[in-house]
A = this chain, B = another copy of it.
């Protein structure tokens, strides 16, 4: 549902081929909304069929062509309409918290392994998002640079401020996950120390 809006957000900055889009995607919006290329190409075709984007076929060498997509008026309207529409929040479905609720059913070693992996997972995400934050500050991210280039000077700060805001939110959430995992490890220490019986 959101994929097409992520794609529109990128294309609104300027036309891109499916291939370029997919590459830019993975190092910009992809940090917030992951999508593999096998999903991007068909989605672009669907959006084309619905008139949200239009493709211009460009010859590439002798035989090959590439399809360069741009946003149509209808696509632009779809994007701005979506931005005004309340978000549909999906119901919680969280494998990590599901498992956490039943850690007493496994061995202390498995419980600790789960918690350590959770911490490592989110530390990895923090590293990625913080790197992205530095790139935002330095306007090093190519998509952001292009976006800033086509943005009126008085609007640039806002553009950057919201990118920062979004990524800071992700980093904070990830930090929360890490500290939750650490609390879990402490909990393990107290539970195992209090009661030597827990080992299966």
Contact = CB atoms under 8 A, between A and B. Distances in A.
Interface string A88-119: 11011111111111111111001001100110
Number of copies: 2
> Which bucket holds chain A's interface residue count?
35 or more
A15 to B, nearest CB: 18
A135 B199 CA distance: 28
Given A83-B102, A121-B89, A154-B197, A170 B97 contact: yes
A107 B81 CA distance: 11
Interface string A160-197: 01110111111011001100100110010001001101
A95 B89 CA distance: 8
> 8 closest A-B pairs (Cβ-Cβ)?
A34-B91, A101-B166, A83-B106, A100-B166, A104-B158, A169-B180, A103-B162, A84-B110
